[in-house]
Structure 1
Amino acid sequence: MSSFRQLAVVTFVICCGADRPKDFAAIMDELTGPVARASCVESMLDSIEGSMGVKTRHWIEGQVPTFEAALQPLFTSLPSRQGQPGQLSQRVAMYALHRVFVDERGWFLHSLEEHSLHGEAPLPPITSILQNQIPSSAEQAFQACFQNGAYMKELAVLAATLDNLVHQEVLARTMSVFKANKLPLFGSVRVDQMDTALEQVMMSYILEEGGSASAFEAYVSGNLSISDRYPNWAELQRFLHHIEGVVMPAKSTHLKFDDLSNLIHELQVHFGRWQDGECQEQMRELRKMEIEECPGHVNLRDFYAANLYHNKWQFSESADYLRVVGALEESEPDSPRVIMSNYVQGPNNCVASSRYYSQCCMNPCSSHLSSLEKAVAGSEVSPELLQSAISMVLPKPEASQSELWDRLRKIARDGKVALHGSSFAEWLHWAYPRDCPAVSGGPTPRQEKPTEYTARTGLPTDFPEHDMRSFVEQGPKPASQCHLKWQVSGGLESWDESELERRSTGRLLLAAHEQVLQILRPSAPIAAGATVAAAAMLCALWLRPRSACNAPSCDLLVTHASQ
């Protein structure tokens, strides 16, 4: 401990008593935070270099600015840890990572699935996104940096490290395909051989949950048709060749294994956007069946009829599976309805699986939320300001605007609406029912992919055709009315349950509210005398009743301490 820090501790103990050293340590950690954070980032990068090589470090450092830019609006709008401005709690940092990868690439990181982050189970460490795939020395350095929370630069390094692991995973799969096809890892291969290798790599992702190597070989050899497993295979082939044409040198006839690096990274970045085209097509088909009086909903009978009579092979999930993943609305039991946004954005539509993530549909509601985050730059905002921002940066809401604006005022707490709270998440669903997932009023839906559901229940996710036909032909007539109710109580009730409010919005759960207490953070290291003065003032402020700290005296304390 430096001499000025020791002196400050003594001052604090004399002033406040020897029973508060932990409180003072927390304050001093905040005061010296910028230096500590820079050191922490450097230790993470040094550990990567020492255990994974300088090239890996340089690759990660090259990706950090991209992730910082993506994280910046979230750090501006998400609530900081109490007393730690600019630092997110573990749970909120996980939500920030979740948002970045979903928004940018449609990646749903396995350790950030909602069912992992909700419930009574202990929260996994944020470094679990790396799936224990970095050396233990680097893992320890990362864990040390994130033990109390996360700052933006640290989180960007973590995200870039994951990005590198995904990149290495694809290279490893490509190497395996090269070996299986007896292609040289050193030297050149023909372009048509490269095309085949790329297709087989992508096939391995689509079949990841299909199981055995023999099954993969059956698809590669043509004994089984990949188009039967994944009907959009022909379109995916065209996408792969398009990316290849953009990235690879023009008129190339031969390529090297090393040429794959740029191509593979481009595929990683852009595949989610391409795959989302299938999701948008699903939504267009569902909109053809949408209940006029109930935007964003489709009668379950019409859903199955599209499968039976209009060759819409996707619409085959059983009612139980739809219910489990939160895509079935049953307020009128005799007339169940599919919630379009929850269905399209659900785990049923994840196609390619990696060790680290599943490739799923993107969430257009997240774009709406991102626009608002940039517009209001805060975690809480008055209903009036939020209404103005919505009117300026978002499309016109679907529902009655007078009802929506009235609801916006009702869900405010102390005159503020939590931008990432469950009440506002539900408001967004009512305003944009086709874009924003419905909030569950009951237990959090399980976000189980079909294989996970089958493993847990022993049941298939698809509804047998004869049962589907019986339901369509003999089931009750669907109701033409829509009697939906708000599921989340507004105002104080929804805030008193926990310090951390969780939201249940399909695959984007997790937003939070925390009380934010701003603690002093000088922009430069402080000298010994200033440290003692700051310690004494902070001590006085700490011991006084909150009501006794009037605005002028508090402002004076902050002014002197910051000097």
Structure 2
Amino acid sequence: MFAKASVGVTCWLALAAGVAAAPGSFRGAPGRDRAVALEEIQASLQEALEAVLSSEGAAKRSAHIEARVWQTFQSLPKNDVGRLAPKAVRYLVHSYFMKEHGWLIQGLDPHANQAEVSEVHEVSILQDKAPLLVESLLEARRSNHGLSLSDVVAMVGALERLIFDESLALLQASYAFNGLSAAEPIPQRSAHEVLTSYLLLFQLGSKANLTDVRLHQALKSRLSQREDWPELVDFESDTVLNFEYARAHTSNPFLEPQYSFQDLSEMVGEMAHGYGKWQNRECQEMKAELIEADADGDGRVPLSRFYLQADNAKYQFSESVQYLQEIGALDESGREKKVRIANYLQGPSNCIASSSYYSICCLSECEGLLNELEAKVQAPTAEPAQLLDLVGHISSATVDAPRELPSGLVRRLQDIADHNEGQVPLHGRLFAEWLHYAFPHECPYPKVFQEAKALTPQFWALKKMSVDAEERLEIASTATLQPENATQATPGGEAEIAWSSEELLHAHEAPARKRGSARVALRCVMQLALLLGVLRAAAGSWQTLRSMAGFGDKAAKAALPF
């Protein structure tokens, strides 16, 4: 049974609460009849879910997700019934995808330190492909019921699954581009060609042409001459080797491997999940080059150095001043403009493979550091002394531990506590600002944005993001012409640092008004019944699709990647 797939779980629990509180009141039916009817709907719902989802694959994936999110879940503020309210859910889901995959999902854009932000039900792919789930989320919001840990795990799993479904269309096209049928097993050499084609389409994102065979083959031939082509091939080959290792106990070593569409779909699932971590090596290479230009070690590069990279440098940075300003990467507090390394790396110019629903960006190192704190604190707030001790024993790629934090940062942390009744909120703007100075190369400065969309690739799709070499030279020559009395920031030291005292609590919200349980129950029964019908139809469609691909009865029962 797919234990974690709690689509509509919030409604189910709200129904249970409503029935217990008002027996015999729902549409005039006896309480026992209602309970039986609801049990039947729930049983049918589980049956339909099992028909669409692989119990083994889904349970394994859910266990992985839960292991990665439970610490954040424990540390986030809860509502009156111990569940996450919408802002906290949004915070957790966004954090998970940026930390694990580098996925920036449309509708879950960075909160940009704004008081009003989007919620999970506004995610584009959910609205387009899972409207009933959106309705359940809206109902949970209206009833102030919130989401449990298993609900959140199911939500993350649902998003991963919907995004993976996009990959299946690319895989189908990859078969066609290589003159192969998805209905027939293919040898290993052909599998490598198909998977390489898939990766090229995946990287192109929404720009990929899924019908022009000659164009694809020409592109594949041209890209195979690039220096970084072997790295792509290695990533694909490693995926095949891992798949072979996992099934070594069931395969015949004396026969050439043959792969079905289902086999390749499992490999594609692994590549989709692992691509963000694999491509993040480029982010780390850029970070290393920028750190070399950071003479003060404060996480900032003089704008002149940023633009005037050596001719033999691997990366030539060309983003415009306007772009750097709008994404919060330009520090103009001192006499010389400087580029904040962490903000630049998290910027949309470093996102690739933008589809209609998500982009792949640099992984958030700061989320990983915050997770370490969340695991130790397991509460929304902590005392300054506890955080100083914990942070002093956390190391990063550029910070060694243990260490004694500078007195300037010690004072600032106490200021944050004084601003919040003696406690430091872990998920607020001020603590994010403090973490920026504690880990300047990993944690971005939390600028308060006028336009949150400025942090998304879509915002810059039709805007000028870069400048040419001549413009860069001109900008670099005037980059130090700042007022004489400008403050020179020295993060964490004895001198005064550039600090904003504006606080925003990203995961906190006022409790919503409660609605009548009978009304909630009525809406939820209708939603569950409708969802049951949709899932049964989806199960039939999925099996029909697989039959069209030539899998037969055995393949129809095969497990999906997750």
Q: For this structure pair, what is the TM-score category when the shorter chain's length is used for normalisation?
A: 0.7 to 0.9
Residue number in structure 1 paired with 2:302: 299
- Identify which range, 438-447 or 95-104, moves more after superposition: 438-447
Say yes or no: does 1:362 pair with 2:358. no
> 1:278 is matched with which residue?
282
Matched, 1:452 2:447: no
Per-residue deviation, 1:166: 2.2
Q: Is the 8 A contact 1:114 1:447 kept in 2?
A: no
State the alpha-carbon separation in 2 of the partners of residues 143 and 47 from structure 1.
Answer: 20
Aligned amino acid, residue 386 of structure 2: L
| Residues 45/59 of structure 1: CA separation in 2 closer, same or farther (3 Å cut) | farther
* Counterpart contact for 2:394–2:401, Cα < 8 Å: no
Alignment partner, residue 264 of structure 2:
260
Say if 1:266 and 1:60 are closer, same or farther in 2 by CA, change over 3 A: same
- Residue 21 of structure 2 corresponds to 5
User: How far apart in 1 are the matches of 2:333 and 2:217?
Assistant: 47
* 1:405 lines up with 2:410 in the alignment: yes
Q: How many residues align?
A: 462
Higher relative contact order (CA 8 A, sep 6+): 2
Q: In the alignment, which residue of structure 2 is the partner of 1:541?
A: none
SS of the aligned residue for 1:112 comes to: coil
Range with bigger deviation, 394-403 or 408-417 = 394-403
Distance 2:263 2:20 in 1: 55
- The amino acid across from 1:406 in the alignment is R
C-alpha displacement of 1:49: 5.6
Please name the residue that 1:195 is paired with: 192
Q: Look up the SS of the partner of 2:107 in the other structure.
A: helix
1:512 aligns with 2:530: no
| Contact 1:440–1:487 under 8 Å retained in 2 | no
After TM superposition, the structure 1 = structure 2 runs for residues 55-134 of structure 1, keeping only pairs within 5 Å, are: 55=53, 59-81=57-79, 83-85=80-82, 87-114=83-110, 118=114, 123-126=118-121, 128=123, 130-134=125-129
Distance change (3 Å), C-alpha of 1:253 and 1:52: closer
Offset, 1:183: 0.5
Distance of 1:398 and 1:347 partners within structure 2: 33
Please name the residue that 1:163 is paired with.
160
Tell me the distance in 1 between the aligned counterparts of 2:216 and 2:332.
Answer: 40
1:218 equivalent to 2:223? Answer no
Offset at 1:186? Answer: 1.9
Matched residue SS, 1:298? strand
- Contact 1:399 / 1:430 at 8 angstroms: preserved in 2? no
The alpha-carbon deviation at position 313 of structure 1 amounts to 3.7
Identity level (%): 26
SS in structure 1 at match of 2:339: strand
Matches within 5 A, 1:308-457: 309-332=311-334, 335-394=336-395, 395-396=400-401, 401-412=406-417, 413-440=420-447, 443=450, 446-450=453-457, 452-455=459-462
Taking structure 1 as the reference length, the TM-score comes to: 0.72
1:488 and 2:511 equivalent? no
The alpha carbon displacement at 1:335 in A equals 2.2
Structure 1 ranges of 4+ moved more than 6 A: 1-4, 42-45, 477-481
> Which residue type is aligned with residue 380 of structure 1?
T
Q: Is the Cα contact below 8 Å between 1:48 and 1:57 reproduced in 2? A: no
Q: Does 1:173 align with 2:170?
A: yes
Amino acid at match of 2:262: D
In structure 2, do the counterparts of structure 1 residues 471 and 46 end up closer, same or farther at CA, with 3 Å as the change threshold?
farther
Distance 1:337 1:377 in 2: 36
| Residue type of the alignment partner of 1:439 | P
Q: Per the alignment, do residues 363 and 434 of structure 1 end up closer, same or farther by CA in structure 2, a change over 3 Å counting?
A: same
Contact 1:107 1:272 survives alignment (8 Å): yes
- Which SS does the other structure have where 2:442 is aligned? coil
Separation in structure 2 between the aligned mates of residue 143 and residue 3 of structure 1, nearest angstrom: 20
- Report the residue type matching 1:277 in the other structure: R
CA contact (8 A) 2:366 2:442 kept: yes
- 1:414 deviates by 1.5
Q: Deviations over 1:10-34 (max 9, x none)?
A: xxxxxxxxxxxxxxxxxxxxxxxxx
Structure 1 CA distance for aligned equivalents of residues 154 and 42 of structure 2: 8
Measured in 1, the distance between the counterparts of 2:43 and 2:266 equals 23
> Cα offset for 1:125?
4.6
| Distance 1:513-1:165 versus aligned 2 partners, 3 A rule | closer
For 1:185 and 1:396, the matched residues in 2 are separated by 53
Residue deviations 1:229-287 (CA, integer Å, cap 9, x gap): x9744322221112222213677443222211321222122222111111111111001
Q: How far apart, in 2, do the equivalents of 1:345 and 1:44 lie?
A: 43
Mapped to 1, the partners of 2:111 and 2:147 lie a distance apart of 22
Distance 1:172 1:48 in 2: 27
Change in 2 beyond 3 A, CA 1:72/1:474: closer
Determine if contact 2:318/2:467 at 8 Å carries over to the other structure: yes
Counterparts of 2:489 and 2:450, CA distance in 1? 21
Whole-Å Cα distance in 2 between the matches of residues 143 and 380 of structure 1?
28
Quick one: distance in 1 between partners of 2:66 and 2:56? 16
Q: What residue is the counterpart of 1:236 in the other structure?
A: 232
User: Using the alignment, how far apart are the partners of 2:436 and 2:135 within structure 1?
Assistant: 41
Where does the alignment leave 5 or more consecutive residues of structure 1 unmatched?
10-35, 496-500, 503-510, 518-563
- The one-letter code of the counterpart of 2:241 is G
TM-score (norm 2): 0.72
